Amino acid sequence: MGPPDAEHNSSTGALSAIVVGAGLVGFAAAVALRRQGHRVTIYESSSFSTELGAGLAIPSNTLRCLIGLGCVVANLDSVDNLCFTSMAYDGTAGMKSDSSDYEGQYGTPWVMAHRVDLHNELRRLAIGPDGTGPPAVLHLVHRVVSCDVNAGSITLADGSVQSADLIIGADGIRSTIRRFVLGEEITIPPSGTAGFRWLTHATALDPYPELDWIVKNPPMGARVISAPITPQGVPKADMDYRTIVIYACRGGSLVNVLAIHEDSRHQDSVAWNAPITREALLDFFGDYHPRFKRLLELAEDVHVWQMRVVPPLRTWVNGRVGIMGDAAHASLPTLGQGFGMGLEDAVALGVLLPSGTAPEEIPDRLQVYERLRKERAEYVSKESFDQQKMAEKRGVYLRSREMRDKVMGYDVKKEAEWLLAGILGQK
């Protein structure tokens, strides 16, 4: 049996829920459930002593969901993304795509934030004393090693067993919970793609006027530098793909750089995330124009990240257990939607499990959750892959208003509310 605080409380209509993983999506799930009055316990294997310092794109649909969960946008200290400027690696101009009207089109702008600031805000909303519903309880340095989908319980590394009405695996691309939901371990195949990531203080760019285009010259927004480019402006070969994405975050005080490239290493035999020297980075981009290389020369604390995609899964749910976020559908960062899709999962789950939901209704509601979320998240995941790997699809997202409307114009809360109304209407 679980601890007393994990049991269903029939007098208040509150469910007990266990969330495995306190990444961005785990905290979002805890917020969404807490706001319905449910009692949430989060188990996180790490201590958060070394949080990932990196920027994160927050497109319109993502920001809309964050605001809906009570996020105070000012706490994100974000920077508006008013345009995408693409340039060729040799310094020649490319395309400029205006994103200043995304707020007009979708009700919320596209902004960029520091991952730690976003994580802190979601953590505040999940476990802080203020807000709707009982604060979630967070246990750090508690690794979950197994899950019993029939009993509705998890086992921690110390051998203790915890039960709850609902168990959510938000435990990332190398999820433990996924194995128990599927009944088998699956392989997350190498994508052959990796990214060099680092942050530079904006003030470090001050002595170099040739770098003013990054964060000083308006309109502000993401700068994308691709190589190689043929004279017709079409990327040459899949295996030569290199793109550097640059944008400011934390009120413009930091510059986030992600240099995506085809990774010729045998990805199964190297670390998923490892430090790399500036020299190696410069070697890799040796043919870039001097003004881009100047930025690379300022790089410090660079890591190389493998990027993998979770293949479409047979299911995301089993009994009272479900998975969400990267555990269910990790994608490439091409569309800037990885976190956004996990956040939409969390919002959908919260709507589908309102206060008063009986524990025995959970398996059916999880089926509805899967029906609502799986197709859309897998569509985004596939597009994120194709639009990087297939030369003819590169940049489609920025060029296609129809595709942007589909991704950023979508309102998951409304869709989930509509489905719930249908379920409750049948009763």
Ligand X SMILES: Cc1cc2nc3c(=O)[nH]c(=O)nc-3n(C[C@H](O)[C@H](O)[C@H](O)COP(=O)(O)OP(=O)(O)OC[C@H]3O[C@@H](n4cnc5c(N)ncnc54)[C@H](O)[C@@H]3O)c2cc1C
Answer for which of 172, 221, 322, 350 binds ligand X (CB under 6 A) is: 172
**Other C-beta atoms lying within 10 Å of the C-beta of residue 140:** 13
Answer for which of 24, 211, 353, 377 binds ligand X (CB under 6 A) is: 24
What gap in Å lies between CA 247 and CA 264, rounded to an integer? Answer: 26
CA distances from 413 to 154, 295, 350, 400, 420 (A): 29, 41, 9, 24, 10
Residue 20 binds ligand X (CB under 6 A): yes
Cβ nearer to ligand X, comparing 316 with 357: 316
Position with the least CB separation from ligand X? 23
Cβ nearer to ligand X, comparing 258 with 407: 258
Within 8 A by CB and 6+ apart from 371, the residues are 419
Burial tier of 228 (Cβ tally within 10 Å: 0-12, 13-18, 19+)? middle
Answer for which of 195, 235, 322, 350 binds ligand X (CB under 6 A) is: 195
- For the stretch 40-78, what's the b/e string if a residue is b when 16 or more beta carbons lie within 10 angstroms of its beta carbon? bbbbbbeeeeeeebbbbbbbbbbbbbbebbbbebeebbb
In angstroms, give the least distance from the CB of 144 to ligand X: 4
DSSP 88: E
Residue 235 binds ligand X (CB under 6 A): no
Cβ nearer to ligand X, comparing 177 with 205: 177
In angstroms, give the least distance from the CB of 223 to ligand X: 14
**Does a cis peptide bond (omega within 30 degrees of 0) precede residue 228?**
yes
In one letter, which amino acid is 36? Q
Task: Identify residues 123-162 at the interface with ligand X (CB under 6 A).
Answer: 143-144
Cβ nearer to ligand X, comparing 36 with 62: 62
Cβ nearer to ligand X, comparing 335 with 372: 335
Answer for which of 153, 162, 191, 337 binds ligand X (CB under 6 A) is: 337
What gap in Å lies between CA 192 and CA 263, rounded to an integer? Answer: 5
In angstroms, give the least distance from the CB of 15 to ligand X: 20
Cα angle 351, 356, 361; round to 5: 75
Answer for which of 68, 190, 235, 340 binds ligand X (CB under 6 A) is: 340
What gap in Å lies between CA 246 and CA 85, rounded to an integer? Answer: 10
Answer for which of 326, 344, 370, 383 binds ligand X (CB under 6 A) is: 326
Tokens coding 183: 């009944």
Residue 111 binds ligand X (CB under 6 A): no
Answer for which of 15, 224, 258, 366 binds ligand X (CB under 6 A) is: 258
What gap in Å lies between CA 286 and CA 289, rounded to an integer? Answer: 8
Q: Considering only 90-98, 200-208, 211-219, 339-347, which stretch makes contact with ligand X by CB under 6 A? A: 339-347
Q: Are 21 and 169 spatial neighbours (Cβ–Cβ below 8 Å)?
A: yes
User: Binding marks (x or -) toward ligand X, 71..110, rule CB under 6 A?
Assistant: ----------------------------------------
Cα angle 255, 256, 261; round to 5: 140
Task: Identify residues 25-44 at the interface with ligand X (CB under 6 A).
Answer: 25-26, 43-44
Task: Identify residues 357-416 at the interface with ligand X (CB under 6 A).
Answer: none
The number of C-alpha atoms within 13 Å of 50 and in the hemisphere containing its C-beta is 0
In angstroms, give the least distance from the CB of 162 to ligand X: 12
Residue 46 binds ligand X (CB under 6 A): yes
Q: State the residues that interact with ligand X by CB under 6 A.
A: 20-26, 43-46, 56-57, 143-144, 170-172, 176, 195, 197, 258, 305, 307, 325-326, 333, 336-340, 342
